Amino acid sequence: MAVRIVCDSTTYLTDRQIADYGIEEVSLSVIWGDRSRQELEITDLKSFYDELRDMKNLPTTSQPSIGQFLEVYRPIADAGDEIISIHLSSGISGTYNSALQAREQLLREGVPDESITVLDSGRAGGGYGVLALAAASKARAGGTHEEVLQAYQAMKDGASFWFAIDTLEYLRRGGRIGALANFVGTAMKIKPILTVTSDGIVPVERVRTEGRVLARMAELAQEALPEGGGYYVQHIQAPDRAQAVVDILESGLGFGPSIELAEIGPVIGAHIGPGLIGVGVCPPGMVY
**pLDDT at residue 24 in the model:** 98
What radius of gyration, in Å, describes the C-alpha atoms of the chain?
19
Domains and CATH numbers, the chain: 3-157 (3.40.50.10170), 160-282 (3.30.1180.10)
Q: Give the pairing type, strands 35-38 and 191-197.
A: unpaired
What contacts 217, CB < 8 A, 6 or more positions away? Answer: 162, 163, 164, 193, 245, 277, 279
**pLDDT at residue 286 in the model:** 65
Per-residue burial over 138-166, b if 16 or more Cβ lie within 10 Å, else e, is: bbbeebebeebbebbebbbebbbbbbbbb
**pLDDT at residue 21 in the model:** 96
Phi and psi of 39, rounded to 5°?
-55, -40
pLDDT tens-place values along the chain, 288 residues long:
899 999 999 999 999 999 999 999 999 999 988 889 999 999 999 999 999 999 888 899 999 999 999 999 999 999 999 999 999 999 999 999 999 999 999 999 999 999 999 999 999 999 999 999 999 999 999 999 999 999 999 999 999 999 998 887 887 776 656 655 555 544 556 788 999 888 888 889 988 887 799 999 999 999 999 999 999 999 999 999 999 999 999 999 999 999 999 999 999 999 999 999 999 999 987 655
**pLDDT at residue 90 in the model:** 95
**pLDDT at residue 34 in the model:** 86
User: pTM score, two decimals?
Assistant: 0.93
**pLDDT at residue 154 in the model:** 94
